[in-house]
């Protein structure tokens, strides 16, 4: 695969990044098959692997660690911190206390002594960004982490973090991992331009919109099997606006002589701000299908037709697991108390 530079880090990575969320109890509990998936991806030329501590509550990192035995130096390994990793207090978030503790657990599970890219999985409104950046800086200086990144940050918070790094002389976020697909293009308005402005690599997740852009799920063909069991996808998989768009995109792909899956993946890596698109196969067959389209390139005519279906910068509806800022999730943060409201 033709490599791309990860932001301005100088690290070369493949345009497809192997995501591992489906490894373990949440997706594929067969560790041996998951290891084979990793090896097949590496043999194909993918050198970028992304995981997270919270995936199957540590089991996924353990699987990745097994798969990379003897091949660790071939791989740019990324993981994430922030999710809830047990009962009790202070076992999640982006505090110094938790980051310094949890990186050790990830290193143990991954069977490595360094992480190439350590990412903050979600924003943490409770924690000062300087606190988070200070802890991550110490990990870089200790040699446990090579570069740091963020995930799901709104553009304004990415800018705030960059300013904090400059002001305090701290390591800065080198990457952002936003949700991006044909059906969810909102990040084209601000997040992706901000990434370009600050020389950050963008690793986009769910380029197949949770499976909708495979064409397997349609208005007359609702999710079944594994997709139906995924508790965070039901509204997304039955969204009328998205299903209508899928119906319009299928003939675009067919007329171009490719599957909708390959069209969607090629779209995700066509944006100049995108370094890699994260693929998340659950089975070897799914990986093989994704790899078969790795060389697909969309010309301007095809991109124009996609724009006609879903205009640039448009979100057709939120993905159920997408981050929602407290200012939107909590009505009380956007409503004055009744006594402070002007009389009609």
Residues involved in catalysis: 55
Beta bridge partners of 221: 218
How many alpha carbons lie under 13 Å from residue 99 in its C-beta half-sphere? 25
Beta bridge partners of 277: 16, 204
Give the pair of three-digit tokens for residue 224.
């079944």
| Cβ–Cβ under 8 Å, residues 149 and 173 | yes
Gap between the Cα atoms of 72 and 228, Å rounded: 35
* Burial zone of 114 (CB within 10 Å; 0-12 exposed, 13-18 middle, 19+ buried): middle
Residue whose structure tokens are 């890219």? 117
Give the pair of three-digit tokens for residue 152.
């799901």
* Burial zone of 336 (CB within 10 Å; 0-12 exposed, 13-18 middle, 19+ buried): exposed
Closest CA to 81 of 63, 111, 104, 48: 104
In sequence order, what DSSP letters do the residues of 223-246 get, joined into one string? Answer: --HHHHH-TT-HHHHT-HHHHHHH
Q: DSSP 3-state assignment of 98?
A: helix
Cβ atoms within 10 A of the Cβ of 30, count?
14
| Cβ–Cβ under 8 Å, residues 80 and 148 | no
């Amino acid at each position: 695969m033709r490599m791309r530079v990860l932001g301005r880090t100088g690290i070369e990575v493949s345009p497809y990044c192997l995501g591992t969320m489906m490894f373990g109890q949440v997706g594929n509990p067969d560790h041996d098959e998951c290891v084979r998936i990793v090896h097949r991806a590496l043999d194909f030329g993918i050198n970028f692997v992304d995981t997270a501590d919270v995936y199957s509550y540590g089991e996924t990192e353990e699987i990745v660690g097994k798969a990379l035995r003897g091949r660790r130096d071939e791989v740019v390994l990324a993981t994430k911190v922030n999710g809830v990793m047990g009962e009790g207090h202070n076992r999640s978030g982006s505090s110094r206390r938790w980051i310094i503790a949890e990186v050790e657990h990830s290193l143990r599970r991954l069977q490595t002594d360094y992480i190439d890219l350590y990412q903050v999985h979600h924003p943490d409104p409770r924690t000062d960004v300087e606190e988070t950046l200070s802890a991550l800086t110490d990990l870089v200086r200790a040699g446990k982490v090579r570069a740091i990144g963020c995930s799901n940050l709104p553009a304004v918070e990415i800018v705030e973090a960059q300013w904090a790094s400059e002001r305090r002389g701290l390591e800065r976020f080198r990457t952002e991992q936003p949700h991006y697909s044909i059906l969810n293009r909102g990040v084209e308005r601000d997040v992706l331009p901000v990434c370009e402005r600050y020389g950050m690599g963008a690793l986009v997740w769910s380029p197949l919109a949770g499976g909708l852009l495979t064409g397997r799920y349609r208005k007359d063909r609702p999710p079944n099997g594994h997709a139906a069991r995924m508790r965070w996808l039901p509204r997304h998989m039955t969204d009328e606006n998205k299903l209508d768009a899928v119906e319009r995109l299928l003939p675009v792909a067919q007329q171009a002589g490719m599957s909708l899956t390959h069209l969607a993946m090629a779209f995700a890596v066509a944006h100049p701000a995108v370094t890699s698109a994260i693929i998340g196969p659950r089975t070897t067959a799914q990986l093989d299908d994704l790899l078969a389209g790795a060389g697909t390139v969309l010309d301007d005519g095809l991109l124009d037709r996609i724009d006609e279906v879903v205009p640039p910068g448009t979100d057709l509806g939120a993905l159920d697991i997408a981050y929602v800022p407290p200012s939107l999730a909590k009505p009380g943060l956007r409503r004055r108390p009744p006594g402070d409201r002007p009389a009609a």
